[in-house]
Amino acid sequence: MNRRWLCAAVALAGPWVADPVLAAGNAWLEAGRAAARETRAQQDVPGPARNVILFLGDGMGITTVTAARILEGQRRGESGEENVLAFESFPYTAFSKVYSTDSQTPESAGTMTAIVTGAKTSSAVLSVDETVRRGDFEAAAGHALATILEQAEQHGLATGIVTTATVTHATPGATYAHSPDRDWENDARLSDAARAAGFPDIARQLLEFPHGDGIEVVLGGGRASFRPAGAVDPEYPAQKGARLDGRDLSEEWTKRRPRSAYVWSREQLDAIDPAATDHLLGLFEVSYMQFETDRPRDSAGEPSLSQMTAKAIDLLARAPHGFFLMVEAGRIDHGHHAGNAYRALGETIELSNAVRVALAKTDPKQTLVVVTADHGHVFTFGGYAKRGNDILGKVVQAKENEGGGPAGPARDATGLPYTTLGYLNGPGYTGASAEQAEGPKHFPHRGAGYRAATKGRPDLGAVDTTAQSYLQEATVPLPSETHSGEDVPVYATGPGAELFRGVREQNYLYHAMVEALGWNAAPSQPAR
């Protein structure tokens, strides 16, 4: 470069060189510096952990977390981008690799088995090793994997399960059951051969759990799997139990151990006295619990995820040697399968509320809290929307940007508007609403609003894309949106939280929790 031009360039650059004095008063710089100093001052909490709470957002990938964060802030009247969900302030984060031994893109049974047993396995089986093929009940008994919940009972800890899915669903089921098929939630779902051989279905394995003094708290949905066929449901008289063996497992729960209780409504749950109850079973729906969005309309009243979490901790905190609690926001997954971001994000926000409740009710020096997901979804976020744009709305650009578009409503190459959020595949191919498929009680998570593919995109100009039953557009038409295979986030705080760093295999999470608890014994095979 010519010396004269070099000197001129230096002179021009001079005023733009960063100056610490000039930086004073810049909110971004000040906030960043304060955050760095706060992080540096954080000290690892000495272990071992007395309690472990594992929060599982079923299907909660990074895009879900980001969109839920913004939506929560916008519901408070803020722009949303600066908001922080309860677990996003945790001092340690990691990513876990979610593939199963036979699947690049996994499902919940195999992934949760990895998280709670320390070993990856194949798809659709619960807490058995990868040699067990789906439906092979004869192989299951010899290849069961011990779970952290079973071992917690063996170590004298109290244990609990909270979920908005059925308590026999893949995620909760993996913590206590050993089954070659995740769908065997009750005996009516067993294969004929398994039923004839007396193989225990998942609900029965929950009741007959043999470790320690039994699971102390189980709260969620799934009454039908516990009640005999023909038994009238207490909330929905037109619906009946599902069991073929004639057993009422909810009644057996109260008879099996002293100071046990069974409840099926929020009012009954609220009336439970933790000091007078050692074992609590709560089944608040025939099948899945309501989405948080729809829960206020439930006729009998059912508790939220955060309310169930609070009650579970109230009971478990009385244990002299600590506790292990798994809390699942199971219907994030169902909202995504339906292509319905509104409900999926609402469930994620409620998971954050439950985490906040748990933090308030436990001692941070004694309790390791881990928040993660079993897998993600093909959920997308893009389009150069302006700051504070409604996260559920159509893209509005603030000014000409990288996309080359002018300020105002964004348009695609054919002149049609589009939304910030969408899906790679699913039932929203035509931009449909799910209202016609919603039904009187449950928003279905498979096939909702699905219609035959049409040519071209729909015109969303007059469509309210922020409506609770709107299905975000999908590129590939499918009756049900699919999982994704990318890594999922892990957030941790409390004693042992420093173990959750880096990119890890999903089964590592079990080993990190065991290490945080200070258990030295190698995992044992569960007695069956």
Q: How far apart are CA 16 and CA 319, in angstroms?
A: 61
Rg (CA), the chain: 25
SS3 221: strand
Encoded tokens for 73: 């802030």
**Rounded to the nearest 10 degrees, how much is the dihedral formed by the CA atoms of 12, 16, 19, 23?**
150
- 263: Cβ contacts below 8 Å, ≥ 6 apart: 269, 271, 272, 280, 281, 282
Q: Are 151 and 524 in contact (CB under 8 A)?
A: yes
- 28: Cβ contacts below 8 Å, ≥ 6 apart: none
Alpha-helical regions (H) of 98-159? 108-117, 137-140, 148-154
Which phi and psi (to 5°) does residue 261 adopt?
-140, 150
Q: Provide the annotated active-site residues.
A: 108
DSSP letter at 258 equals T
Q: How far apart are CA 355 and CA 489, in angstroms?
A: 15
SS3 289: coil
Which phi and psi (to 5°) does residue 509 adopt?
-60, -40
Q: Are 474 and 424 in contact (CB under 8 A)?
A: yes
Q: Are 290 and 305 in contact (CB under 8 A)?
A: no
Q: Are 81 and 73 in contact (CB under 8 A)?
A: yes
Angle (nearest 5°) at CA 450 between 444 and 452: 165
Which is nearest to 368 in space by CA: 501, 497, 514, 511?
Answer: 497
